[in-house]
Structure 1
Amino acid sequence: MFLAKILILCTACVLVSATPFGLGAPKVLEGEDLASAQQTLEASLTKLAAGEGPHYRLSKILSATSQVVSGFKNDYSVELIDNQGATKVCQVDIWSQSWLPNGIQVTFRCPNEPELVRKHDA
């Protein structure tokens, strides 16, 4: 019995160490994953702009990561264009718990502005 427990523990250690970033760790997005994350961001920006805002358009994604949490969390460093056409670099987080009502939470962190958190449905 003791040997079986040791074997299970060793197997778990090997599986965790074989994962490049560990379980639940952020993964840098590129290729198709980045394109999918861009669609997610643009869909959220469109939904928010149709409601109470903010009213941003995406200029460019500088970097993006994805993480499995209670749902999915995408973190972006982006260039956004506001209503006046000004471009600013912001951090945007999208935490998606699509099974909940208004289960998508979008957080904007832009320089010299207070953090802004909005929710919308999937």
Structure 2
Amino acid sequence: MQQIHRVIGFAIVGGFLVLFVWGLVLWLRKRLPGEWYWRLLAVLQVSVVLQLVAGVVLLLLGGTQPLLHYLYGALFPGIALVVAHVLGRGMEQERDALLIFCIVAFVCFGLSLRALATGLGLP
């Protein structure tokens, strides 16, 4: 289970980096995101939930991590994604929603990278 948790963690970090760069390029080129952009976002959101479930299983099996690992890995990205959805729904232009999700993808990239680092025991 620990290896699965680690692999999902690396995938989430990489996925949010791809989502951020892709969104930034689209926004700078004044293009709208297509269906695949939003699908990647959905996959990442589901992956964060799966990662949370795997982490809870590891915790129940006796694993422990610093508190920051749990905050950076689940709570803060979850809050950021909820805020993005709330703000994005109120946007009249899809391009504005893209910018919100692009910024949140960058934030989630940083948060999940830090969660991965604490989980791997890095300073």
What TM-score do you get using the length of structure 1 for normalisation?
0.30
Which has the larger share of helix? 2
Return the structure number with greater relative CO, CA threshold 8 A, min gap 6: 2
Q: Which has the larger radius of gyration?
A: 1
